[in-house]
Amino acid sequence: MSVLADAGLVAAKDLRIEARSRVTLAQVLPFGIIVLLLFAFALDPDRGRLAAVAPGLFWVAVMLAALLAIGRSFAIEQLHGARDGLRLSGIDGAAVFLGKAAAIAAQLAVLEVLLGLGVAALYGVDVTSVVVLVAAGMAATAGLAATGTLFGVLAAGLRLRETLLPLLLLPVITPVMLGATRAFESGLGGDPAEGWPWIALLGAFAGLYLAVGVLAFGSLWEDA
Amino acid sequence: MSDVGYVATGWAVTAVVIAGYYARLVVRTRRATKSRGSR
Amino acid sequence: MRLLHPRVATVLGWLTLVSLVALALFGLWGAPPDEVQGDAQRLMYLHVPTAWLAYLAFFITALASALYLWPRTRAQTWDRMAGASAELGVLFTGLTLFVGSLWGRAVWGVWWAWDARLVTTAVLFFLYLGYLALRHTAADPVSGARRNAVAALIVFIDVPIVHFSVEWWRTLHQQATVFNPELSAEIGGVMAWTLWLGVLAFTLLYVYLLDRRYQLATLEDELDADGLDAAIVARIAEADGTPAPGRSEPPGGPMTTPVSAP
């Protein structure tokens, strides 16, 4: 079967597990909203700062939530011999990578929409360009999912996974943080035209790490 | 702190850190060589 | 066992020491104070060399990792070298940030500035800290080495992206971020010589320390392998009911694969 079809199988499997366990919805999403609330407590809504920093806070909340989602994506493989089953299935490593990344991206997308609504409601932002927001969101999410899946497999199965994954992943995705925040600033009360160069950067980042993942994930997966 | 203070701090800390790291290497190497030697 | 012939290493060690002392003499006394920055500029003779080493060390880590992954050149040597160089890299990146912060405080009155080079160096520090943390997790030599090598390359290719995006970010804000004292004013005469001496001295230091650190890594790997063998022998002897041969449990190193009792 082709790589993409296999990737679809893997993604469907992960999403089906999520649909049944509802961990992302019931645990990761509330975590994200609590982070937004904490920021509000820290920054005092009455001083009118929140709207100005809303893009940055949104993406910080998304990144923290992504850590949980990625950890979860590999935690489910540790149970019931799932990892061995997946390896024995003969599915190509690249397909596993793309499938897992796609599932993570899908979950992140849902999180982002819901957290975005939360930000709009709690912090009070005005939207200048939905297109910029959607494009930036997609490109940033692709980059997050790709790097997250790569580091997720590196850290998978290690006793120190919970502390290692953030330390590994967060420094690497600083360009995503920069680009996504700047793009969102342009789309939320700024000049949308300024957002497109950043979206291009996000796209390049995502493309690069998707390529790395397709090439490298297979051998890492075998050893994990 | 005066300029001299910053310069002195910078050079002193650098020297101590590098010397300390080197010393640690030496100690660990000696320990490892001894352990290997007993085999 | 070692990257350099022992006698070469000894000579190198002494050369390094001599050049570092010479650097201190010139940097702190022989070279004149800067017209604009005064004595504070003397921190440059440390900051530039440590920054150079920081990036050199990580380049070597990436190169060694690539050599490990390339089938024709695959050897455990490269993995050890990558690890040794990364440790030195973290050390010198930390020093770069520290000295740079002091220098910034002395000259501009701030402990930190959000310009591309400083921020990239800070991110570099954490990128490789994560890499070292990964190296310290238990794994068998071959799959662990492959995992380390892939991680090193993932991290390495990120560095230019980080630099570019931060630079772009800062220029957009049109801050007065012309914080390039080491490149701006013409440094002539003794000051230039001292700077080059600094780069040379620290490069010698890097090579010397890399060799020593590599040697230690080899020794510790062999200790672990021996320890594993001994533990296996002991377990088999236990299972057979015969007393184990007289060998004490070896000291555990940071790379010990835990062998737990049933």
CB contact under 8 A, C165 and A160: no
* Placement of tokens 């010990």 in the chain: C256
Q: What pLDDT is stored for residue C183 in this prediction?
A: 41
Asked whether the predicted pLDDT for residue A58 surpasses 90, the reply is: yes
Any chain A CB within 8 A of the CB of C171?
Answer: no
CB neighbour burial string for A163-184, b if at least 16 within 10 angstroms, e if fewer: ebbbbbbbbbbbbbbbbbbbbb
Any chain B CB within 8 A of the CB of C209?
Answer: yes
pLDDT, tens digit, 9 for 90 and up, residues C119-131: 999 999 999 999 9
Chain Cα centroid distance, residue A172: 13
Counting every residue written for chain C, the total comes to 262
pTM for the whole structure = 0.86
pLDDT, tens digit, 9 for 90 and up, residues C165-207: 998 888 876 544 444 444 444 567 888 889 999 999 999 999 9
**10 Å Cβ neighbour count for C149?**
25
Which of C43, C222, C226 minimises the CB distance to B6? C43
CB contact under 8 A, C146 and A220: yes
Whether A30 contacts A109, CB under 8 Å: no
> For residue C216, what are its two tokens?
């230690």
Backbone angles phi, psi at A156, to 5 degrees: -60, 140
CB contact under 8 A, C28 and B7: yes
Chains that touch B (3 or more CB pairs under 8 A): C
- Of residues A25 and C256, more confidence is placed in A25
Whether A125 contacts A51, CB under 8 Å: yes
| Average pLDDT score over residue span A178-198 | 91
> pLDDT exceeding 70 applies to what percent of chain C?
86
ipTM value of the model?
A: 0.91
Query: Which residue is closest to A220 within chain C, CA to CA?
Result: C147
Q: What pLDDT is stored for residue A88 in this prediction?
A: 81
Chains that touch A (3 or more CB pairs under 8 A): C
Distance from CA of C228 to the nearest CA of A (A): 20
CB contact under 8 A, A182 and C172: yes
pLDDT, tens digit, 9 for 90 and up, residues A131-146: 999 999 999 999 999 9
CB contact under 8 A, A168 and C134: yes
Query: Which residue is closest to A194 within chain C, CA to CA?
Result: C172
| Average pLDDT score over residue span A179-184 | 95
